[in-house]
Amino acid sequence: MSSAGSNTGLNLWFARLTAAFFLGGQVFYRILNTKGHWRNTKEQMWMVGPQSLTIALITAGFVGMVFTIQVAREFIYFGASSYVGGVLSLALTRELAPVLTAVVVAGRVGSAFAAEIGTMQVTEQIDALYMLRTDPLDYLVIPRVIACSLMLPLLTIISLLAGMTGGLFVAEYLYKISPTLFLQSAQNFLQFWDLVSSMIKAAVFGALIAVIGCSWGLTTTGGAKGVGQSTTTAVVTSLMAIFIVNFFLSWIMFQGTGNKSLG
C-alpha cells in the first residue's frame, strides 16, 4: 500500500513537472507574440522586488559575513589576506548571490504563486476566466514570469552589494584587513563577465520559480488540502530546479582555467 502510494505520488510529480515544462514553452512563445497585461505585471514586480528586498538583504549580508570568517582566518594563516575580498566577490557574484536570492524568492514568492493560483483553480475562478474569454496564461502566468525574470537580477545585484558590505565589515573589524585592500582585491578578481553571468543566472532562476509555481497552481486538485500540497511541492521543485540548472549554467559559463593571476 505504501509503495503503491509512493509510486503514484512520484508519477503525479513527473506528470506535473512535464506540464510545467510545456507551460514554460507556451509562456516563451506568448511573450514574443502577444501583448501582456502590464497592470498585472507591475503589481507582480512590486511583490517580487521591493517586498522581497528586506529578507534578501539580511540573508546576503550574513552570508557575506560568515563566508569572510571562514575564508579570512585560513588566508591570514597562509599569508594571503590580500585575496579575501577577491575570493568573496567571486563567490558572491558567480554563485552565492544569484542562488541564495533565488532560494529566498522561491520560498516567499513561488509559494505565493502556487497558493494563489491553486486556490483560484479549486474554487473554479480559472474556469470563470475562460468564460470571460480571458486566457489564464496571458492574465496570470506571463505577468508573473516577466516580473520574476526582471526583478530577480536587480535583487541579485543588491544582494551582492549587501554581501560585500557584510564581508568588508567582518574583514575590517575582526581581522584588521583594510577596506582599501579588500575592495582592491575584489576589483582585481572580478571581471565584467562575472556580473553578466550572475544576471543571466538570476533571470533564468526567476523564470523557473514563476513557471513552476504557476504550473503547480494550475494543476491543483483536492480543495484546501490540495492547495497546501501544491504549495509545498512547488517550493521543493523550484529549489531542486535552481540547484540543478545552476550546475549546468556554471559548467557552461566557467569552463577552462581562470585567467586572473594571483601573483
Instruction: Report pLDDT for 1.
Output: 46
CA distance 181 to 84: 9
Instruction: Report pLDDT for 174.
Output: 92
CA dihedral defined by 58, 204, 129, 13, rounded to 10 degrees?
-90
Tens of pLDDT, residue by residue over 93-102, are 999 999 999 9
Tens of pLDDT, residue by residue over 138-188, are 899 999 999 999 999 999 999 999 999 999 999 999 999 999 999 999 999
Range in 88-92, 133-137, 207-211 the model is least confident about? 133-137
Domain boundaries, the chain: 39-250
CA distance 263 to 257: 16
Kindly report the pTM of this predicted structure. Answer: 0.91
CA distance 161 to 154: 11
Instruction: Report pLDDT for 261.
Output: 46
- Checking phi first, is residue 190 left (phi over 0); if not, alpha (psi -120 to 50) or beta? beta
Range in 8-17, 81-90, 142-151, 198-207 the model is least confident about? 8-17
Instruction: Report pLDDT for 31.
Output: 86
Rounded to an integer, the average pLDDT of 246-257 is: 88
Whether pLDDT at 128 is above 80: yes
CA distance 125 to 146: 22
**13 CA to centre of own chain:** 21
Instruction: Report pLDDT for 258.
Output: 61
What is residue 79's DSSP assignment? T
